[in-house]
Amino acid sequence: MNGGVCGSRTHCQCPAGFTGRLCQYTSQQSQQAQAAWGHCYYKIPPSVKPGGLVWLTLCFSVQINVRVHHNTDTSVVIHPLDQSDITIPSKTVTRMMTQRHKPKGRCFQETTPKQACNSTPLPVLTNQEDCCGSVGNSWGQNKCYQCPKLPNASVKHTIVEDYGSTCPQGYKRFNSTHCQDINECTMQGVCQNGQCMNTLGSFRCSCKHGLVLDRNRCVGEQPAEYAQCYSIAPLDGRCGGRVLGYLTQELCCCTVGKAWGKNCERCPAEDTAAFQKICPGGKGYFFQKVRNTFAFPPLVFPSPEKGYNKPGKLATAYHLTDVCKTSRYICGHGECESTASGHTCHCNPGYRLHAHRNIYEDECASEPCGAGRGTCVNTDGAYQCHCHHGYKPMVNHGRLKCVDVNECSKQDVCGPGGRCVNLPGSYKCECHKGFKAHRTQTCEDVNECADPNACPGEQCENRPGSYECVRCRPGHEARGGTCYDVDECQKAGVCLNGRCENFPGTFRCLCDEGFLPSADSKFCRDIDECEDDRLCANGHCVNTEGSFHCRCYEGYQRTQEGSHCEDVNECERASICHRGRCINSMGSFRCECQKGYRLDGGRRCLDIDECLEDRNLCKPFGLCKNRPGSYVCECNYGFILSEDKHSCEMVAVEQEEKKECYLNLDDTVFCDSVLATNVSKQECCCSIGVGWGDHCEIYPCPVYHSSEFGSLCPVGRGFYHEEGTTEYGLSLHRDIDECVLFSNEICKEGRCVNTQPGYECYCQQGFYYDSNLLECIGVDECQDPSNCKNGHCVDTPGSYYCICSPPWTLATDRNSCVTPEEQADRTAAHKDVCFRQLDEDLICSMPHNDLVVTYSACCCHYGRGWGPECRTCPPRNSGDSSEEDSDECSCANGRCVRSYLGTMCECNPGFRLDSTRTRCIDINECAEPGVRSNPCKNARCVNTKGSFSCICKPGFGPTRRPNMCMRTKFQ
């Protein structure tokens, strides 16, 4: 009371300001009561039957607020009593429970299929008996184990022998003979956010307003969803029998509904877990939460000595010890009172005293719900009626019974075609003529028109309880009592030259292009398009079935849409007027030839040979040459073309002076910097020369972009202008070919390519072009520290090589030196191509294309030469089978180098390997083919061993530049 929470069967956990076993006293009243009375006593007589009165003796009057939770089929009556009936017992007995020390672990309320425990146990540790006997499914300390299944106590027993050695669900062992109720309300985590009330074998969780119960805890209440309810179960995905208004799923499926929701979700079948979840009260009932608070005067129950019989004492203790203290639960569902002779058990309401144990009375034994009308379920101190279909629970004379439901009280139960007759637990429909009973216990109309012979040749129209035959409308025919439209478009010959479109009772023709429908639109007739004089201009119109075509006159053709004739543009044809201009006209064309041509056959222009027709052309200082459409004069020497190019005129030819061209004007070297001799000033200064003269008398070239340079080189650098020479009225100029004019002076050791204007010099690999020296300079690869590691690098023109000092040897990459051990590791298993034949010139041939082996395997088993360097194998039967050459290294004009291919020669500059690659021979630089035809300038080349020398020609002398001779000055 007063907001207290049940802590055990006989004690309450009171809020602040209240005290007492039922929290019925305020703290001040409790102090006054203790001073006046000392203690209070509560007693419930065991003789009270279910439905009778219950006595509660209080110390004095107290205002009590009581909240009653009950089902809708249960009535609650509260009787106030006079305070004069209060009696005070002689003493108070206090009992203590024996403490038991049992291991504690975690208690899990849910069990998943693959693992015994989930991840949300109760927040406190419990022992296995409390966990598995109450709300737990699994329990454990380090590991969790699934709880064993316990029997359900249909009748609340307390003696172990009825269940073997295991107490039923909701109980735990008290001693060897009794089981005691487990107080689930003391377990933290049970009934969260709600008020827990312990019951025998279970507990009850009351949620606050706005919360609902979900698996032993109170959660936020979700708003109820309302949707359409259907009274006919879905067939082929469709529902029938819409119920007026929108209902919740519980109200729909627990009453008349068979399906619910926008997706026509079928209601769960009765006697299933899903049905019990949404309809806990059974068919015809739905759960509704009712919260009311009642305030009433103090409850003071009289002593059994006034107006009521004393409860009997049937059990007596046999020992002088205080049995109630040592065996607290000896009475089971009742209160134990110690007496001088032993003890007495006072049973709780709904229980009676038994000779051996305390059991409650089974009200269902007398079938209070009615035989055949429902099932009685006995509960603690009461019972419930689960009524069969057609019955409903009702309290009659203070007793709950199942009474018949009069279905016929509802309007139109059987429909307009029948009469409802009520039966016990059901009803039946007596249908009128023309109606028949439906499986939904309604009378529905008999559709006589379903019989195809009901109206032969006519349409059958059904009426409630009868039918009527009606003739079909025009364009329709009856089949099986139904009028169907006659599709005239299916008949042959309908709507020729058109498309038939059917309508109910008729049709029409949609004519093709070139046809018109008749007045009734039942056929199509041809249109004579040739009656329109505007068609087929420049031609003749010919009518056809549904269309027409134009026969065009010569020189005309039909237009793209074919309604007229248009002119043919013959000038669009290729070569219609060969070498002439085509002029189109309506229906024809003509050709006009250009000047110098004449028309031949009306479609071809032939060239006129002016030189043949007039033999005096270009005379007397030239020769006439015919050209397509004209002629030109080739003038004799000393004559040039006139401005009209049809005669030759004599001009004064000025001989241009030619001298030497110099590269620079430095006093110390300018005499040695001759680029070319016998060149004009234009050829020198308009190209790359900086001075022009003779015998070291140099005239500087004009500065670039100056007026003198523009006068000398009017076209610009790289071009030569010919004075007095014109072509088509423009001055002639030609490109200066520097590669021919200056020979190899501007691209030494490279390949010169002339461009307009200028030139380009392409160097070989390993060289770069120096624009100051005008030659290809070799790249010194030895400056790169990554080349020739552990060895000495020797630079050569365009390349380099490495010299390794013993015991170092040249590595396989020919770019570093390695130790013999390292080389052995690298080359021991080196494999390469093997050649089967070795020619007289020691050239390998006929390789094994599919064979890659080591040197020793090649020489011993397969061939005569090995590797890309064609390392020759030792002669057969020479006794040399190793991979090292037995011959001593002999490299005249070179040096011996050891590599992974064996011992080979690296030649000195001026020498190269012969075809056998075993000796070095001299290079004849004077006869070496290449870009330079002669390495000596103005001199004769003489080959020497490993090099060459230049002998100057007469009139020339040596200069400081190598391999070049200059003209000597006259003395």
pLDDT value at 306 more than 80: no
Hunting for tokens 């690999």 — which residue is that? 765
Do residues 858 and 844 make contact, with C-beta atoms less than 8 angstroms apart? no
Hunting for tokens 């009642």 — which residue is that? 294
pLDDT of residue 307: 39
pLDDT value at 608 more than 80: yes
- Give the pLDDT mean for 264-270: 89
| Cα angle: 109, vertex 113, 116; to 5 degrees | 50
DSSP for 907-922, please give it: EPTTEEE-TTSSSEEE
Provide the token pair at 38.
């000392």
**Which residue from 754, 685, 690, 755 is spatially nearest to 714, judged by alpha carbons?**
685
Do residues 257 and 250 make contact, with C-beta atoms less than 8 angstroms apart? no
As a three-state string, the secondary structure of 148-192 is CCCCCCCCCCCEHHHHCCCCCCCEEECCCCEEEECCHHHCCCCCE
- With bands split at pLDDT 50, 70 and 90, how would you rate the model's confidence at 508? very high
Q: What are the tens digits of pLDDT across the range 447-491?
A: 888 888 888 888 888 888 888 898 898 888 888 888 889 898 988
Q: How far apart are CA 502 and CA 488, in angstroms?
A: 7
Q: What are the tens digits of pLDDT across the range 523-546?
A: 898 888 898 888 898 899 999 888
pLDDT of residue 51: 39
- Give the pLDDT mean for 384-392: 90
Among 335-349, 371-385, 883-897, the range with the most confident prediction by mean pLDDT is: 371-385
- Give the pLDDT mean for 814-839: 76
Q: What are the tens digits of pLDDT across the range 745-798?
A: 888 888 888 888 888 898 887 788 888 888 888 888 888 888 888 888 888 777
pLDDT of residue 890: 61
Q: How far apart are CA 190 and CA 196, in angstroms?
A: 8
Do residues 121 and 147 make contact, with C-beta atoms less than 8 angstroms apart? no
Which H or E run contains 476?
strand 476-479
Q: How far apart are CA 48 and CA 46, in angstroms?
A: 6
pLDDT of residue 223: 73
Query: Out of 265-269, 279-283, 373-377, 471-475, which region has the weakest mean confidence (pLDDT)?
Result: 279-283
CA atoms within 13 A on the CB side of 367: 5
Provide the token pair at 412.
């139109």
Do residues 86 and 301 make contact, with C-beta atoms less than 8 angstroms apart? no
- Give the pLDDT mean for 25-30: 60
By the 10 Å C-beta count (0-12 exposed, 13-18 middle, 19+ buried), 136 is classed as buried
Q: What are the tens digits of pLDDT across the range 56-105?
A: 333 333 444 555 554 444 455 554 444 444 343 433 333 334 445 678 88
Which has more pLDDT, 39 or 26?
26
Among 316-320, 642-646, 787-791, the range with the most confident prediction by mean pLDDT is: 787-791
Sign of CA dihedral 311, 313, 319, 323: negative
Query: Out of 182-186, 597-601, 839-843, which region has the weakest mean confidence (pLDDT)?
Result: 839-843
Q: What are the tens digits of pLDDT across the range 688-698?
A: 888 898 877 88
- Give the pLDDT mean for 315-334: 55
The amino acid sitting at 470 is V
Do residues 24 and 30 make contact, with C-beta atoms less than 8 angstroms apart? no
Helix intervals (H) in 655-796: 681-685, 707-712, 738-741
pLDDT of residue 188: 83
Q: How far apart are CA 944 and CA 400, in angstroms?
A: 142
pLDDT value at 273 more than 50: yes
pTM listed for this prediction: 0.27
- Give the pLDDT mean for 147-164: 60
- Give the pLDDT mean for 39-54: 38
Q: How far apart are CA 890 and CA 878, in angstroms?
A: 20
Do residues 867 and 900 make contact, with C-beta atoms less than 8 angstroms apart? no
Q: pLDDT above 70 covers what percent of the chain?
A: 74
| Bond before 89 cis per omega within 30 degrees | no
Terminal C-alpha separation, the chain: 150
pLDDT value at 334 more than 60: yes
Provide the token pair at 266.
């079928």
Sign of CA dihedral 441, 444, 450, 454: positive
Do residues 139 and 147 make contact, with C-beta atoms less than 8 angstroms apart? yes
- Give the pLDDT mean for 321-328: 62
pLDDT of residue 8: 61
For the chain, the average pLDDT equals 76
pLDDT of residue 509: 93
CA dihedral 368, 369, 374, 378 (to 10 degrees): -60
- Give the pLDDT mean for 193-199: 86
